[in-house]
Amino acid sequence: MASIDECVNGFPLPMSKLGGGIAERAAEDFTSPLTKDVGCHLERILRLGDKTPPPLSGSDSVVRYHGNPRMQLADAVVMVTGGTGGLGSRICHAFASQGARVAVVYHSRTDVARDLAHELAKKAGASDSLAIQSDVTRAEQVAELVDRVVQHWGRIDVLVNNAAFNQGVPFQNLDALTPELWQTIMSFNATGPFLTARAVAPLMRRQGCGRIVNIGSVSGYKPGGSSIAYAVSKAALAHLTRCLALALAPEVLVNCVAPGLMEGTVMTERMLPEQRERGRAEAVLNRTVDKDDVADQVVTLARSDSTTGQNVIIDAGRFFH
């Protein structure tokens, strides 16, 4: 179990001098099933008192804290939707390398998901891993997904909304962009992240600490990408990120990583050839985006204790946002 002293920074507070029974309740709270292993919950414990205690001096064992706890990723529970995709699997590996417990959420590729979960736990450094099927566009399945993760590990510390859908449709061909296709793209790319965030938010608030990282696209910042519906859905996700950051502060930090064109992903394979070529040609670095760069940025945002409501573009130099 991570020590309380490891989880946050700020001024020292000896546990022995916490008044009004807070020390006893804090000790109980840090050994409960909901909060064991990851020490990022002091702020919630301190709110049990009537007021924030002043800094005290002395050589006692101390708790250090400030406004927002710092996320410790070793043994943290990380839920990655779209976990079997080209980018999703790299995100899972990035968190596994930090010693996290990784829930690989997938839509249909059961064998791939199970193999990935086994690899994460046995070879990639994850302290544990689990493959779970879910359609993130359906609220009842999202609720079941969250329940299963909590039943298995007792908590959720990080949600990565990576599941998405696209289909190449020329912007000029509005007839080909049917209402059914529009709704499917919007459901996966905007409604799905809302449903998962809505489902984990109460839990993260009770924990006193949580991180949500959405995976957007540069298509949300300029008309472009695989279709009008895809561009609009990613623009919606960018603003949903800002709105959730406001709604869930201060306990939960919400950010978005918006990649440009990446090789080896289903999203890129479904683009029209001319759309892919335009994405390559516009990058000043003369190459596509490295998926591991994107995954590393997701981990950085999950670890941050002072960044929220931000959309980080990684596009090899296409949009200087």
Q: Is 214 exposed, middle or buried (0-12, 13-18, 19+ CB in 10 A)?
A: buried
Query: Does any domain span residue 70?
Result: no
Catalytic residue chosen out of the listed positions 65, 106, 221, 230: 230
Q: Are residues 35 and 179 in the same domain?
A: no
Q: Are residues 120 and 11 in the same domain?
A: no
Q: What number is the average pLDDT over the span 247-272?
A: 82
Q: Check if 230 is active-site.
A: yes
Question: Has residue 49 got a pLDDT over 70?
Answer: no
CB 178 within 8 A of CB 227: no
Q: Are residues 86 and 33 in the same domain?
A: no
The per-residue pLDDT for 222 is 86
Q: What does residue 262 show for φ and ψ, rounded to 5 degrees? A: -120, 140
Q: Are residues 150 and 281 in the same domain?
A: yes
Query: Does any domain span residue 300?
Result: yes
Average pLDDT score, the chain? 81
Token pair 């608030």 in the structure block, residue = 205
Q: Is 312 left (phi over 0), alpha (psi -120 to 50) or beta?
A: beta
Q: Which two tokens stand for residue 38?
A: 């990851």
Measure the CA–CA gap between 132 and 123, rounded to whole angstroms: 20
Q: Are residues 115 and 202 in the same domain?
A: yes
Q: What spatial distance separates the first Cα and last Cα of the chain, rounded to whole Å?
A: 41
Q: Are residues 41 and 183 in the same domain?
A: no
Token pair 């919400």 in the structure block, residue = 254
Q: Which residues contact 205 (CB under 8 A, 6 or more apart)?
A: 248, 251, 252
Across the strands, what pairs with 253? Answer: 211
Q: Are residues 146 and 197 in the same domain?
A: yes
User: What 3 state SS string does the chain have?
Assistant: CCCHHHHCCCEEEEHHHCCCCHHHHHHHHCCCCCCCCCCCCHHHHHCCCCCCCCCCCCCCCEEEECCCCCCCCCCCEEEECCCCCHHHHHHHHHHHCCCCEEEEEECCCHHHHHHHHHHHHHCCCCCEEEEEECCCCCHHHHHHHHHHHHHHHCCCCEEEECCCCCCCCCCCCCCCCCHHHHHHHHHHHHHHHHHHHHHHHHHHHHHCCEEEEEECCHHHCCCCCCCHHHHHHHHHHHHHHHHHHHHHCCCEEEEEEEECCECCCHHHHCCCHHHHHHHHHHCCCCCCECHHHHHHHHHHHHHCCCCCCCEEEECCCCCCC
Of 65, 87, 118, at which residue does a domain stop?
A: 65
Amino acid at 229: A
Query: Does any domain span residue 319?
Result: no
Measure the CA–CA gap between 252 and 248, rounded to whole angstroms: 5
Query: Does any domain span residue 113?
Result: yes
Of 21, 42, 65, at which residue does a domain stop?
A: 65
Q: Are residues 55 and 200 in the same domain?
A: no
pLDDT single digits (tens) 68-121: 567 899 999 999 999 999 999 999 999 999 999 999 999 999 999 999 999 999
Q: Please give the residue that has the higher pLDDT: either 63 or 270.
A: 270
pLDDT single digits (tens) 134-155: 999 999 999 999 999 999 999 9
Query: Does any domain span residue 72?
Result: no
Q: Which two tokens stand for residue 110?
A: 């059961």
Q: Are residues 40 and 97 in the same domain?
A: no
When pLDDT is cut at 50, 70 and 90, the band that residue 174 belongs to is very high
When pLDDT is cut at 50, 70 and 90, the band that residue 27 belongs to is very low
In the chain, pLDDT over 70 holds for what percent of residues? 72
Q: Are residues 82 and 48 in the same domain?
A: no
Question: Has residue 54 got a pLDDT over 90?
Answer: no
What CATH number has the domain bearing residue 223? Answer: 3.40.50.720
Q: Are residues 134 and 34 in the same domain?
A: no
Number of domains, the chain: 2
When pLDDT is cut at 50, 70 and 90, the band that residue 36 belongs to is very low
Query: Does any domain span residue 290?
Result: yes
The helix-helix angle for 192-207 and 139-153 (nearest 10°) equals: 30
The per-residue pLDDT for 24 is 39
Q: Are residues 41 and 155 in the same domain?
A: no
CB 267 within 8 A of CB 63: no
Question: Has residue 286 got a pLDDT over 70?
Answer: yes
pLDDT single digits (tens) 188-245: 999 999 999 999 999 999 999 999 999 999 989 988 888 999 999 999 999 999 999 9
Question: Has residue 262 got a pLDDT over 80?
Answer: no
Query: Does any domain span residue 41?
Result: yes
Query: Does any domain span residue 173?
Result: yes
Strands 11-14 and 62-65 turn out to be antiparallel
Of 23, 44, 65, at which residue does a domain stop?
A: 65
Among 156, 96, 101, 141, which Cα is nearest to 295's? 96
Domain range enclosing 20: 4-65
